Amino acid sequence: MSDSGAGAPAAGGRRSATGDEGAARDSYYGKPILKEPVWTPEIPWYFFLGGLGGASGGLAYLSELRGSEVLARRAWLIALAALGVSPVLLISDLGRPERFLHMLRMFKVTSPMSVGSWVLAGSGTTTGLAALHAMTGRLGSLARVARPAAAALGLPLATYTGALLSQTAVPVWHEARRELPALFAAGAAASAGAAATAMTPVEHAGPARRLALVGAVAELALVGAMDRRLGELGQPYHEGAGGSFSQAARGLTATGAMLLGARAQRSRAAAVLGGGMMLAGALCERWSVFKAGFQSARDPSYTVAPQRRRIAAARTRANAAAAAATGRKP
Amino acid sequence: MKLETHAWPGSYGEEAKPRVGFFTDTSICIGCKACEVACKEWNHVPASSDGFTGHSYDNTSALDADTWRHVAFIEQRKEVGLDGAGGSLVQSATLDELIDQAGLGTYQEGDGMRWLMASDVCKHCTHAACLDVCPTGALFRTEFGTVVVQPDVCNGCGYCVPACPFGVLDRREDDGRVWKCTLCYDRLKDDKEPACAKACPTNSIQFGELGDLRDRAEARVQALVQAGAEQAQLYLHDSDDGVGGAGAFFLLLDEPEVYGLPPDPVDATRDIGTTWKAVGVAAGGLGVALAAAVFGGRR
């Protein structure tokens, strides 16, 4: 029998440390343990647009309350455009698109996708009514309910997508479960602010500019927090497509925010350019998270290493408890 | 020993059947792949081919939409028998005894090669992440305590695919839906054992009531360890592990990751509270940011 396993690469290109020949000791021929997601490029685009639309609804409603009609009308339009496209993206991602209504067969709190489907259905409907009212002045009584509902539903819509990713076995997503919803909320704020800043005359765009800047600062801070949380599991954010998108996201968000903060009060051109860069930055941020998940699932060492550490820690705890029980110092 | 799942037997009342499963004893697997073939035949699973992988005798590579039983082949240099024991007669005698008497058929004598084979399958977890995240209810818990996809409900959203800590579920390309082992739900309803267990010539795949299987496995692993197979271990038999124990569990002769299995798998739903709390905080923060931006400045 030939030693055919000897040439198999160990996980992550590293050789087995135990010195065994044959199959690598820490993986099965370097093959993934998890399945990579089957989700298509529509999904990161939806994460971006759902966040944009959700936060824009809130911006529009609050601007109305403040009496900023010019800004409110544009924010409702942005929300309508973003949430009009979102269901199309999600349906086209399905393996059986004609069965999209099966998403509303039940409501399951253990499934962020189920919760999100209902939130999107409600948010899309109410945003449509609110935007129609903002444009035509019709449907007044319906809009009185729809506008605050759209604003309120926009908040979970912009954040549940973080939960959607973290409720998987993919280490780079699951271990970032405390940060991902906030990161997506920050991206939503940044993109809603940026889009409205770009589309609104500068004298009416003050709230949008402030929202964009708050979002950008939070987004950059949360990327750092997530990186610290993940430690070496966060390597997919530093290499391959996940790394490239992450770098682009940070560069575009920071540069766009600086331009928007420095010049957009006076120059519409700066508002459009800075806002555009920030939108691109928020989109790249979603793409980096999306791609990092695939990289994390593909390499078995990301799956095995933290689980091995967990086992070792549990053993240490058990030994210490046993030692304490018998009255000896551990 | 706790066998209850969230929906079984509670939601079935009188109609609940005993929870059944597989005990796959890899120490007597001979790598014949009869389980793979029987599964394909009975369940009309489409043909799949990766060609020749060069990974020992494994040409199906992993469980996926078209492979519901997968036999892994692992070749290891291991000191076995007289030649490999480094001249220690006591050690070689122990190892020979292991081969002859404990029925450890996977040890190959002669050139010091150990050949591990193991038939992998959907684990039918007690806490099944795939079932928890499925938004349509296509994945459900049967009256036998197993986890099954309903093909007439699945809309191919793909959420279960990265949710499974074992990488079992997969979407079939040309079909768009997710497919996996059903533990031969149709055969169970007819009081027949699943096709793979029926076809297994060495009883490496044992089907039965889960409680009985766990008792049997416990006795088997103790016998192997006493005979000197120090690394022999049960995998997913423990109700306290990260998936609450599995309906399909294994006796392994090396660490799980050697077979392509996660050493300490966890059902992500365990952390759903943390996750929704993070969503609540983030949504609240977004609301505060919006209000501050709109009302927090002069223009």
Structure-model confidence comparison of residues A15 and B56, the more confident one = B56
If we measure between CA atoms, which residue out of A49, A45, A52, A47 comes closest to residue A190?
A: A52
Residues of B in contact with A184 (CB under 8 A): 282
Residue A247 sits in which domain range? 42-298
Please name the residue that has the structure tokens 């093959």.
A31
Q: Is B261 on the interface with A (CB under 8 A)?
A: yes
Structure-model confidence comparison of residues A6 and B156, the more confident one = B156
User: Is residue A20 included in any domain, yes or no?
Assistant: no
Other Cβ atoms closer than 10 A to A323: 12
Asked if B255's CB is within 8 angstroms of A25's CB, the reply is: yes
Candidates B75, B159, B279: best to mutate against A (most CBs of A within 10 A) is B279
pTM: 0.90
Structure-model confidence comparison of residues B48 and B123, the more confident one = B123
Residue B82 has pLDDT above 60, yes or no: no
User: Is residue A30 included in any domain, yes or no?
Assistant: no
Asked if A1's CB is within 8 angstroms of B274's CB, the reply is: no
**Cα–Cα distance between B238 and A171 in angstroms, integer?**
23
Q: Is B290 on the interface with A (CB under 8 A)?
A: yes
If we measure between CA atoms, which residue out of B208, B143, B148 comes closest to residue B182?
A: B148
Predicted local distance difference test score (pLDDT) of residue A15 = 36
Coil/strand/helix, residue B80 = coil
0.85 surpassed by complex ipTM: yes
- Alpha helices, DSSP H only, in chain B? 34-43, 81-84, 89-101, 129-133, 160-163, 185-189, 195-199, 210-227, 272-295
Predicted local distance difference test score (pLDDT) of residue A9 = 36
Q: How far is B11 from chain A (nearest CA, A)?
A: 16
User: Is residue A12 included in any domain, yes or no?
Assistant: no
Domain with A150 in it: what CATH number? 1.20.1630.10
Residue B167 has pLDDT above 90, yes or no: yes
Q: How confident is residue B18, by pLDDT bands cut at 50, 70 and 90?
A: very high
Predicted local distance difference test score (pLDDT) of residue A243 = 98
Asked if B293's CB is within 8 angstroms of A59's CB, the reply is: yes
If we measure between CA atoms, which residue out of B244, B19, B273 comes closest to residue B129?
A: B244
- Kindly identify which residue of chain A lies nearest to residue B109, measuring between CA atoms: A1
If we measure between CA atoms, which residue out of A160, A189, A5 comes closest to residue B277?
A: A160
Average of per-residue pLDDT values in chain B: 90
Whether A81 and B103 have beta carbons less than 8 Å apart is answered as: no
| Angle between helices A206-230 and A268-298 in degrees, nearest 10 | 20
Q: Is B37 on the interface with A (CB under 8 A)?
A: no
Listed in sequence order, the residues at least 6 apart from B45 whose beta carbon sits closer than 8 Å to its beta carbon are B39, B66, B67, B68, B179
Q: How confident is residue B110, by pLDDT bands cut at 50, 70 and 90?
A: low
Q: Which B residues, 52 through 81, put their C-beta within 8 Å of a C-beta on chain A?
A: 53-56, 58, 61-62, 64, 72, 74-77
| Angle between helices B272-295 and A42-66 in degrees, nearest 10 | 40
State the total domains in chain A: 1
User: Is residue A3 included in any domain, yes or no?
Assistant: no
- Kindly identify which residue of chain B lies nearest to residue A91, measuring between CA atoms: B157
User: Is residue A304 included in any domain, yes or no?
Assistant: no
Predicted local distance difference test score (pLDDT) of residue B93 = 58
Residue B233 has pLDDT above 90, yes or no: yes
Residue B164 has pLDDT above 70, yes or no: yes
Strand order in the sheet with B233-235: B205-209, B20-25, B248-252, B233-235
B10-266: CATH topology? Alpha-Beta Plaits (3.30.70)
Predicted local distance difference test score (pLDDT) of residue A23 = 37
* Residue % of chain B over a pLDDT of 70: 87
Predicted local distance difference test score (pLDDT) of residue A26 = 81
Asked if A210's CB is within 8 angstroms of B293's CB, the reply is: yes
Name the DSSP letter for residue A142.
H
Asked if A110's CB is within 8 angstroms of B269's CB, the reply is: yes
Residues of B in contact with A69 (CB under 8 A): none
Predicted local distance difference test score (pLDDT) of residue B227 = 82
Asked if B293's CB is within 8 angstroms of A111's CB, the reply is: no
Q: Which B residues, 142 through 161, put their C-beta within 8 Å of a C-beta on chain A?
A: 153-159, 161
Structure-model confidence comparison of residues A121 and B1, the more confident one = A121
- Kindly identify which residue of chain B lies nearest to residue A202, measuring between CA atoms: B299
Predicted local distance difference test score (pLDDT) of residue B114 = 79
Q: Chunked in runs of 10, what are the mean pLDDT values of chain A (330 residues)? A: 35 37 68 97 98 98 96 97 97 97 97 98 97 90 95 98 98 98 98 98 96 98 98 97 98 98 95 98 98 98 95 93 73
Out of A314-328, B36-50, B122-136, give the one with best mean pLDDT: B122-136
Q: Which B residues, 213 through 242, put their C-beta within 8 Å of a C-beta on chain A?
A: none
Q: What is the count of residue pairs from A and B with beta carbons less than 8 Å apart?
A: 288
Predicted local distance difference test score (pLDDT) of residue B97 = 62
User: Is residue A66 included in any domain, yes or no?
Assistant: yes
Q: Kindly provide the b/e burial profile for residues B58-74, where b requires at least 16 CB atoms within 10 angstroms of the residue's own CB.
A: bbbbbbbbbbbbbbbbb
